[in-house]
Structure 1
Amino acid sequence: MKLDRSTADSQEMLLSERVRIAYGSMASSLAGNIINSSILVALLWSVADQAILVGWWLYIFTISVWRGFDGWRFKKRGDGSRGVSYWARRFSIAAYLGAMGWSAAVLLLFQSDSVTYQALLAFVVAGMTAGATVVLSTFWLPGLAYLLLPLVPLAVQFFRLDGEIALGMGVMISLYLVVMVSVARKIHDNTIQNIRLRIESGLHEEELSKSEEKFRLLFESVDDAIFISNAKGQFIDVNPVAHQRLGYTKDEMLNMYASDLNSPKHEATVPVRMEKLKKYGRARFEVGHLHKDGTTMPVEVNCRIVDFQGERVQFSVVRDLTERIQAEQELKQSEERFRDISMSMADWIWEVNSDGVYTFVSGKVKELLGYEPDEVLGKTPLDLMSKDEASRVGRIFQDVAANKQAIVDLENWLLTKDGQSVCMLTSGVPILGGQGELLGYRGVDQDITERRRVEDELRKLSRAVEYAGESIVITAADGVIEYINPAFTRLTGFSAEDAVGKTPAILKSGEQDDAFYRAFWSTISSGKVWQGPLVDRRKDGSVYSAMMTVAPITDDHGEITHYVAMQMDMSEYEELEARFQQAQKMEAIGTLVGGIAHDFNNMLAALLGNVYLAKSSAKDNPAMVERLDRIETVSQRAADMIGQLLTFARKGTVAMRPLSLAPFLKEIFKLARPSIPESIEMKLQISDKDLISTGDVTQLQQVLLNLITNASHALEGVNDPEIVVGLKRFEPDSRFYQIHEEIKADQMALLYVRDNGCGIEDNDLDKVFEPFFTTKEAGKGSGLGLSMVHGAIKTHHGAVEIFSEPDAGTSVHLYLPLEGDGESLPEKAGKLEAEKGGGEGILLIDDEVLVREVNAEVLENLGYRVFVAENGVHAQAVYLRHAAEIGLALVDMVMPKMGGLEFVSWLRDKSATLPVIMMTGYDRDHALAAQEMPEHSVLLNKPIEVPELSSMVRVMIERERDK
């Protein structure tokens, strides 16, 4: 497409002409539609459904009337009222509806049993589509629809019929369709091309007239001189600037030749210029033109050979170079001065345009970044930075440039040619145009990498000293303190105002003699480092142990100018060491308890098994059974005690169970009494009714013993010292719930420990539950006691409160949720009876002979067949011999050669589902050692009562049998 106006305007003109032609041929199109449809109805009236014929004809007639009405409206109103797109859409829609109507004729009126009427229908439809190809030539898609919608169904109708005639007709219709599509496309393209040519012709004539007006206006108003000369060089036209600048009138210039203006200096170059002009049709050169007064004017001539009013002429645009040459000379002088200055400076001078692209860089860039100046030109500062630095600096540059502000001391990091980072201090000023527009920036970059490194090191050193946990002091050579860090104040209590200007003698505790200090000064004054422990005194008079290091600081000549001393408070480390030793001791005790409990549980297992066997043999002797029951009860109590020892050995594992608080508190009271000095009176206050909660006996025991111990420490030096331990019911009120939002229980037990000791200061009450906080003297408390109390009670879903006043005593309240009604333990089921077996085989594995023999006899007594083994290796052989007879394995966890878990793992390769009951004298966590419980297995703790064991055996066997 080639049109001179804008694409939108030209398309609008093209569409308007297409619509005009389309509606201009509307009359012939409507006549053809109505006539052809009427002929088709007449031909098919006797053979087709007349109702369909009438309906179809009315549809065609209606569409034709609609199209005719649109054509009338278009001619009357034109396309301005609605817009040409509106009329184009209406024309296309009507054409599509007409095409659908003729498609309906093929589908509804085709006579499948009459060749004659088939041919008539094909003839009418073919003629109709041929006419539509011409009428719709300005709109390709509607014209294509008029071909495809009728002819494709018509061809399909013939192909559906049998016979050579029908096949031939189908082929002919298909060929006709292909030919007509091709013809329609060519007619459409030719029509559009003709319309476009007519439009372009009109536009060209209009543009030509406007172009001539513009040329004359430009010719007369341009600032440069314009000369038009013929082939002989005579001027045939000049603009006002041309003759006025040289002092001539226009008439005088029209009688002159181009050679008349050449200065003698440039006369020799005329032949060369003319030869270039003839060869290339254009030439540009600088010469001197003679003024009428004889002076020479430097000019730049741009000359072309063009067609002008029917002849070949030289069209020359001549620009006065007087001001430019003067400016160039001044600029050259300025650049020389600037270059001399920039080369003598240590900094890098640069200039960028408004896009931030370097347009000038001084040679210093080679020394600073390793780039030649030409390598930097065309880049931006951001191209010389890392990605992150470019992002940061780019935002700063954008804000500065947007406000046309100066760049002042901007630190930024550039990358050298070999990838090293250098820090630049950038300053620059904006370059503004005549209208205030930003043209760029001019400035300098100073390499401050070394200065920045030194500053960073000094800053890091200063911060390290300020934030150091150790006390640091700097003194002059005579020992006068010049600097202390905050840690010194925290350690000694002396502030900078207290210490600066004095000597370290303010810290003397008297623990070191004069000989110590003489040796100390002798060492450091000789330039050596002194290190060792000592005891110093705080501002409040208290003493502390410290590890101190003192080093001399020398100048460039090796002379001592200062001393730096560092002290590390050893009190906390001594306490940590003591706590670590205590923790190791407790861990050793826990390990010992676990081992003893394991052996004791094995003994109890054997004892309870023998009791069961003895009771089975003594059923007819009630007195004997009663004695055996007592032995069994005592044994079970011993097992419970072992359970508590195992809980202690579990190192924090919580075993919650219903707990009767009154007997528990009485037991704690008796346990604590021997460890409390006899001078302290102890009282126990318990309400009439017992209270039931849920808790871990060991944890609560540790909590109460800790509180009683704390109370005894607070009573030192108190007259009539007293500790009260009590228990009562507590009903929370709104104040309590507001303080302890996590508490949901409405009935609670209150356990309290109260003393009449020294009490706690108000400002310390909020910190007593913090780890390592203590109000006791150094060495008398770890600061962990109350934090452990707080954590343990939180674990029990309870709360802790502490009430205290200085010299009036302290009361610690523990609140525990009550279980059920709070006054009765959950009822236990009646004593279980042992369940008999059904002759199943049981593989019993235990390395303890007594336990193994007793359990084997018990199981046989219950009706099982028992296969015994003393360890896992032995059990493998037994199982392989009797695998078909064994229905359950009873396995001890800890055995020599092969333990229980290892055996069960081996067993699972032989039988994936054989029930396994594992037994251990240790607690569950110790027994499993972080391993997963094997499938189809349970773990029971020794000693196991016979009814419990028999019940579990039956459950496991029956469960596997049900599967």
Structure 2
Amino acid sequence: MSLKSKFILILMLFFVLYGIMNVLLDHFIILPNFQEIERDEAQKHSERAVRAVKKEIHHLDSLCHDWSAWDKIHTFAETPSRDYAEDNLPLTLFTDNEVNLICICNKEGKVLWGEAYDSEKETIIQLTDFPKDFFPENHPLFSLCPAEKKSPAERSVSGLLMTQKGIMMVASRPLLTRNNEGPVPGTLITGRFLNDNIVKMLVEQVRADFRIFPIQAGSMSETVRDVPKLITEESPYLIRNEDDAHLLVYTTFPDIRGETGFLVQSRIHKSISEKGLGAVHYALILETGMLFALIILLIFLIHQIILRPIKHLTNNILSVGETGDLSARVSISSRDEIGTLATGFDRIVTKLEEQTDQLANVNKALKKDIIEREQTEEALRESEERYRSFVQNFQGIAFRRDMNFAPQFLHGAVEEITGYTEDDFLSGTPEWDEVVHPEDQPELADVTEKLFSIPNYSNRKEYRIIRKDGQVRWVHQFISTVCDDSGKPACIQGSLYDITDQLRTEKALHESENYCRLLLYSMHDEIIVVDRNHKITDVNKDFLVTAGRRRDEVLGRYCFNIYPGFHELFERRGPNRKLRDVFNTGNSYSCRHKDIAHNGSDVWTELLMSPLADENGDMTHVIIAMRNVTREVHLENHMRLTQKMEAIGTLAGGIAYNFNTILMSIMVNIEFALKKTQGNIPACESLELSMKAACRAKDLVEQVLTFSCEAEKEMIPLEVSPILKESLEMLGSSLPATIKIRQEIEITSDTIFADPDQIHQIIFNLCTNAAYAMRKNGGTLFVSLTEEVFDSDTNPGLGSTIKPGSYLMLKVEDTGEGIRPEIMDRIFDPFFTSKAPGQGTGMGLAVVHGILSDIGGIIEVKSEPGKGTVFDVFLPKIESEKISASEYIYTPRTGTGTLLLVDDEISLAESLENALKNFGYDVRSETRSSEALHLFRQTPERFDLVVTDQTMAEMTGLELAKEILSVRPDIPIILCSDSDEFVNREQALSIGIKHVVLKPVTASDLVKIIYDILNKRS
């Protein structure tokens, strides 16, 4: 058997003996201790169960005490009353307080009121232990607490009582006043069944499964019948095993008489024993594993420390004997017997090896000398070849001089650079100082002085020489001193190159760069040059002026940091990396980019990125040219808006022309209805309101026509306050609830000379702008109308824009966001607006300014951002007859005569015919101009006057008038037209037409004209 096998057998025997000892220790010592801890814990569980029952009895006693100290119950016990019992002792008292028994007795034991209640069946029950009429003196609820031992407030009886319905917790308290004072008129008894629900609740509270049952011979099972006898005062708890996983703990509980009346059984899970057994098993497995690992470790250590060195020593001894190799060593560093044996063996082998090596070294030295000699000869041949090649191809001059500056060595392109040969310089004609340009000789003299005074000094210098042919050349010289072993300068050596062509190239490149930079700086666009890292390498002057920065502040910085608004174009990653795409593709890129200025306005920039490539075609830089085209963009937008407004004006004009005919028919019929309903005041008032609305529609149509074809407005004397009140009333219904209107009108005379619709337009434009400024946060719109008188000394701030005299001042003030100072000078410009696109045309204030210019008024504005804006409008007053803007209805006279009415609109022709007949005229209407002309030619003397429309399909009004006048030149003709654009008044009057009327016209106005013409003719 080997030494290794013996060691393993010994360790395995030790392992088996240790395992047997460990099992015996666990079984007879450790596990019994766990079981004892388990029994102690089981006893504590049983104690908690008993305390829980006692606590529940205490709660019932506290409830009984609270009820017993109630004045009403105290009074009821002294003077019983059925009404009190019916009003204060309902059955809900049992369910609300979770009690099953309430009994009130007087001090003799007579039951004044008492009931037992089954809460599960919700019925009244009878318990024999609680009589309905009288409690005997020996009843436990009365006899266990003598009155002379305690104060009335401390007298109580509580505990468990076994009834025919089960175990009941009962409590008895003397009846007292609310101050817990006597006299005691009786006793209050309360009870609650200790049923399964209460036991379940207590189990959840103490977290221990237990149950309680009475100690009665007939009701106890065989397993617990002997338990009460085994429980004594010295040993109040009995513990038994129910099965392998549970313990049963028994203890007694006294009844209300203090006798052992109930048995409490607690069921405890053997968790401690299970955990202990598991811990023992785990420890046994862990110890076994650790012991097994220790044995493996011991085997390994014995093998490494003892067996392996012995085997290694044995193998080396055998190897030396078999092969004769003396270099093998045992190399065992231990200090034990094995290490000593190995060291002795190594010494013997070492001595033998030394003697053998001495002989081998002698032989090796001889071979090495031969090889080194051959290598040195080869290196010399290679060095000579390299030097010869260098000298033949050297493009400069290599030289060496002694410390007296006498040339020792000179070779290279001497004649090509200086025009002199090598022999000329070696012979000393010329000296090198004679070749140097006179202007550069002082600097070389300074270098020469340092070469002599400073050890190991070196210098690089560019200077000029004069060739033999007189040509001046630039050379670059490197020169240094060579010191001897003592550290003193021994000689001077160096090299020299002709750099004339290089300097010319650099100069040309510098001039080219200056030219490109001058060209870059002269451009009026903002120019920046960026490299592939998006850093700025150059900028022009216009960029610095626009950016407000110095050149050193921007060079080397990222372009997207200088222009944060262009970040999406200049960014290095992302979908819009246009600058990176220019570098990658080599293609130029141009676009228009919108940015937001510091004042919040839009700034449009036209941007062009052009790549720059090096000699290899790689894109190294990009030139970015930027030009501010905000003005051009605004002009383009204004042009589009102007074209749009012209198109809208043309469309509005066409609609207005057609609407005039319809509106005229409405107005004529309203007038006709007014005449027919005279005397019916409500109807007349309604028709007059309709007439005013029609007149307002007529004015609006005229306003549309004015917008579309610049027609003249009719200026009349009018009162401003009615128009202001009417406009504010109409405006109030359209404003949000967050904006309140406050108005003040303090005037005695408010007559001005203007057009009513223009005044409406001024009020509406100013008020709607003010409302828009308060759209977010709401506010107050204040409108006032006052009188102001100006002379040459009053309000000099108005300057020469207003003439002295009386004025109406219309003030429109809001509490909105105000007007920014930078746009204050532009708010009256046409098409300028600060509103979002699509929310304004920019014409509102421009129209107001134009209207005031026409009527001789002015407008002033004051604004503070964040606080609001005030517009003051000054309207020149006149002293003349006041004409209200609402006076549109006339009362014309009736007349006589025969009229020919021509209009191709059937409804309008019929309406006018009826209206004119109502005023006493005989009217013949025709809807075709040819039929009307035919009728007139048949009986020209029949008609006294002709009324014709201008715009008709077959023949215009002017053409029909010419034909009629050719038949009868003295016939008066009235021409009706939709607009001045279709009729030239001078031309119409020149051919014989008496009057030109613009539609829509009321029947009253037309009758007045007819009456005036016929009376004037007569």
Compare CA radii of gyration and give the structure with the larger one. 2
Please report the TM-score for the alignment, with normalisation by the length of structure 2: 0.41
TM-score, normalised by the number of residues in structure 1: 0.43
* Greater per-residue helix proportion: 1
